[in-house]
Chain A
Amino acid sequence: MNIDKPLRLASGAVLALAVSGCATFSADGGMGAVDQATQAKAGAATKLLRTDDDRQALAGQLRAMLAQPLSADDAVRIALLNNRGLQATYWELGIAEADLVQAGRLQNPAFGYQHKRGGGETSIERSLTFNLVSLVTAPLASRIEGRMFEGAKLRVTAEALRVAADTRRAHVEAVAAAQALDYARQVAGAADASAELAERMRRAGNWSAYDQAREQAFHAEAMADVARAAKAATAARERLTRLLGLWGEDAGYRLPERLPDLPAAPRELPEVERAALRERLDVQAATKETEHTASSFGLTRATRFINVLELGAVRERDGGEPASKGYEITLEVPLFDWGGARTRRAEAVYMQAVNRLAETAVNARSEAREAYLAYRTSYDLAKHYRDVVIPLKKQVSDETLLRYNGMLVSTFELLADAREQRVAVAAAIDALKDYWLADADLETALGGRLPASAQAHGAHHDIK
């Protein structure tokens, strides 16, 4: 487009400025909203690490937290700040905001210069081009980019919450696995004592090779169990380490020796479905999507010739990644198509979004109910182990010792009993682990942290 009248250019620029609303960069780059959401829903802050100072400050913060055995809450705090995948995701906000600001700015006029030479002739062509269409589409683009930015905030928040939930789960798994390893070692200790005593029995001439071999076989199996438990503990811990983004010396962090005790009472949540609908990000996203589609629908009806629908339809995610979140605005010349079909299509897309929202809501309600039921069942099971199974096993041990005192059973029965406790204690550790996992899942299903007041702390119960 060749425009050689500067006046028209100037008037166009004024018009463009008038419609664009002139977006600028925010102070926090959108992280404020994410931070607010993670504080509310995950109980921990997030921060985009922009500078070396930020990173050093974090290193100091980490040192303090890693000096203690790492609690689940601290693990979440560290992950939200230090998980590099998450940091990468945080930068998405920067990209989205840049796009937003960019959309609000007019394209610079372009100056073209063409120099041709041929057939002994030289032609020089100068052109000053300015994207007129953008004058018309800039307000639309800003609006769309604004929504994209909002969407990016939601996505980033969702990703941060996912990492927080994964970290919480990984922490539970790592502590439980370490505890199981510790217990497997104790059991191996019992087997070791049996095997050694058996060997001495044999040496004293009191026992046959058969009896000795049996005790040694127990020991050998217990050692194999220790190896298996050690492997599982390492895997669980490394999973946590990855989520925490730790390496080197920091990866030598300590974990608590035991899972937290079962709370005195389970959470009473009579309105899990409502909470899920209110708090869950997927529901919020679907709601926004529907609003967005509705406004697109309205827009289409109003403008008819501006095709913004594709943007509204862009909602598929590719492998969980927000893949191509681009949009296209096409301004048509209404010669043949008066936009009737497009309006119908917009309506269909809108109704699609409405139903998707309904589906999301149905699923959210169902998942909330399921998670709550799983939570309550896990609580009851863990409580059953704590209050019934383990005390009974303890009683069996006590009674076995009394029988040993009365010379009614031998040392080997005592040790066999200690070995048999393994099954119950392992199951009890598992039940407690399942409880804490169900607790984390419940929070996820309900869209974030639940009020801590429901989590009255129970009396200290030793499950060993």
Chain B
Amino acid sequence: MTSSNSRRSFLAGATTLLGAGVVSRAGAATLPEAPVGPSAATAAPLVPPNGRPYNPVVTLNGWSLPWRMKNGVKEFHLVAEPVVREVAPGMLANLWGYNGQSPGPTIEVVEGDRVRIFVTNKLPEHTSIHWHGQILPNGMDGVSGVTQPSIQPGKTFVYEFVARHAGTFMYHPHADEMVQMAMGMMGFWVTHPKDIRQHAVDRDFVFLLGAYDIEPGSYTPKVNTMLDFNLWTFNSRVFPAIDPMVVRQGDRVRIRAGNLTMTNHPIHLHGHTFEVAGTDGGWVRPSARWPEVTTDIGVGQMRAIEFVADNPGDWAFHCHKSHHTMNAMGHDVPTLIGVDHRGVAEKINKLVPGYMVMGEKGGAMGGMQMQLPENTLPMMTGTGQYGEIEMGGMFTLVKVREGLARGDYRDPGHYRHPKGTVAYEWKGELPPAPQAPGMQQLAPAQGKPLELKRGGGHEHH
């Protein structure tokens, strides 16, 4: 393979983006170039250098895959291979992905484009690619065993079809898929409308929801985990390493997300109402849209939400399942709230030097700096202008600012609140707390064993 030199140099540690404009010796050969993904930072939108024009999307902490035009066909080259993804600074994951990253690069085409995708398998096992949501010839659907033989290691297959419908799609394997998706094999696909004005927005963000179970101290996800994941990611990144979605005040904004985890995610945006404008089935007719601040994205579903960013500020955007805005945490840790540790802590300290009481008053760590196992992240992390954010996982900010340049996605920093618009501490006199007459002081509940009569009906005694 002619692109092997550049790939090798990437593996050797080169992290510079082999950008869209790279013309390689591969151009003359039969296979198009397979560029390698840059760092885990969000790449600038890929302005189409040829073919039909479109408004490119921004892949959150990702990038879009360049192509070459060959006899009017858009040719892409995906290489399925093991990658090392930076989940967040300080934590790396051994994943499987495409072209040096997981998720793989976003493929952007225009409605009506004939697309030819070369898929080279550099994984240790066979694979295939299913083009989720595309209407295409059955033999291009990528279900190994059903519509095609699987792509054996070292082999390259070609998929070719016409992207018939504009919309929001994704790609992922349908071969050993439990393992391959648990290892991060997925990518985004956007088919832009033929008419550049149709569904046009000012900013169009895309990402995939992914869940991984990586034991602290290890690097490779446990592929057999079904629901008890400990890393909930946007594009295999967790907060505070998910880039903010920076928009100009008044911009029409679209956020498209696909769910390749094993549970649903109620995605919630603060400060704005939005409409679900699209699913993986296509665009929702305006009459069918309803206002939301949270939309649930089911397993295997995609949603495109749209809103006008009319409200400046740093607005939280996150999955509303509270465990999903946490990083690695123990799921079998008993609750210690309200448990007096006096005396016991000293005893434990004698046996376990370095032991500190935690959780006695709740989960907040109060800024404690604790040493953690290698290659993991604090459960709650990140610092805002007013202190600890105490969230991780599927959480980021939509930063709405006045007067940003078009195409300027740079992080503008913390929002500067106009005077008098931040909640503040009340320092005046407090009115007496109302209390219901005869109300007793609350004490922890104590119980007796339930007596349950079985076999003779269902009454309790």
Contact = CB atoms under 8 A, between A and B. Distances in A.
B403 interface: no
A407 B329 contact: yes
A405 B372 contact: yes
Given A403-B216, A406-B379, A201 B350 contact: no
Interface string A172-213: 000000000000001001101100110011011111000100
Contacts of A450: none
A402 B372 contact: yes
Interface in B309-346: 328-330, 332-341, 343-344
Nearest to A209: B449
A206 B371 contact: no
A397 interface: yes
Nearest to B379: A407
B378 to A, nearest CB: 7
B376 interface: yes
Given A196-B344, A204-B339, A415-B348, A404 B445 contact: no
A412 interface: yes
B339 A418 contact: no
Contacts of A412: 334
A26 interface: no
A409 interface: yes
B364 to A, nearest CB: 11
A193 B339 contact: no
A161 B397 CA distance: 83
Contacts of A211: 334
A414 interface: yes
A398 to B, nearest CB: 9
Contacts of B347: 189, 192-193, 196
A411 interface: yes
Of listed A192, A402, A405, A418, residue having the most chain B CB within 10 A: A405
B323 to A, nearest CB: 12
Contacts of A197: 339, 341, 344, 348
Interface in B399-451: 444-446
A205 B445 contact: yes
A410 interface: yes
A387 interface: no
A158 to B, nearest CB: 48
A11 to B, nearest CB: 91
Contact of B334 (A196, A207, A414): A207
A200 B329 contact: no
Interface in A233-255: none
A186 B348 CA distance: 10
B213 to A, nearest CB: 12
Q: Is chain A's binding surface mostly helix, strand, loop or mixed?
A: helix
Contact of B328 (A186, A196, A408, A411): A408
Nearest to B349: A193
A192 B351 CA distance: 11
Contacts of B333: 407-410
Nearest to B217: A399
A401 interface: yes
Nearest to A207: B334
Contact of A399 (B351, B358, B373, B445): B373
Contacts of A418: 351-352
A404 to B, nearest CB: 7
Given A402-B372, A406-B328, A408-B216, A206 B335 contact: yes
A189 B337 CA distance: 23
Nearest to A193: B347
Contacts of A404: 355, 358
A274 B341 CA distance: 65
A186 B372 CA distance: 26
Contacts of B343: 196
B58 to A, nearest CB: 33
A215 to B, nearest CB: 11
B12 interface: no
Nearest to B358: A407
Contacts of A406: 216, 328-330, 370, 372-373, 376, 378-379
B359 interface: yes
A200 B359 CA distance: 14
Nearest to B357: A411
Interface in A405-433: 405-412, 414-415, 418
A211 B332 CA distance: 13
Contacts of B351: 186, 189-190, 193, 415, 418
Contact of B336 (A190, A193, A206, A405): A206
A397 B395 CA distance: 33
Given A399-B217, A407-B329, A418-B352, A206 B373 contact: no
B354 interface: yes
Contacts of B363: 407
Contacts of A399: 217, 373
Contact of B332 (A196, A201, A207, A410): A410
B267 to A, nearest CB: 25
Given A402-B371, A412-B334, A203 B444 contact: yes
A204 B330 contact: no
A205 B341 CA distance: 15
A193 B334 contact: no
Nearest to B443: A205
B348 A200 contact: no
Interface string A320-358: 000000000000000000000000000000000000000
Contacts of B340: 200, 204
A12 to B, nearest CB: 87
Contact of B444 (A196, A204, A405, A411): A204
A407 B335 CA distance: 11
B452 to A, nearest CB: 16
B355 A414 contact: yes
Given A186-B351, A402-B371, A414-B348, A201 B216 contact: no
A193 B348 contact: yes
A408 B329 contact: yes
17 contacts: A192-B347, A193-B348, A203-B339, A207-B334, A397-B352, A404-B355, A405-B356, A405-B370, A405-B372, A406-B379, A407-B359, A407-B363, A408-B330, A408-B376, A415-B348, A418-B351, A418-B352
Given A405-B356, A406-B378, A410-B336, 7 more contacts: A204-B444, A205-B446, A206-B336, A206-B339, A404-B358, A406-B328, A410-B332
List the 4 shortest-distance A-B pairs measured between CB atoms, nearest first: A405-B370, A205-B444, A193-B347, A408-B330
Interface of B: 216-217, 328-330, 332-341, 343-344, 347-348, 350-352, 354-356, 358-359, 363, 370-373, 376, 378-379, 444-446
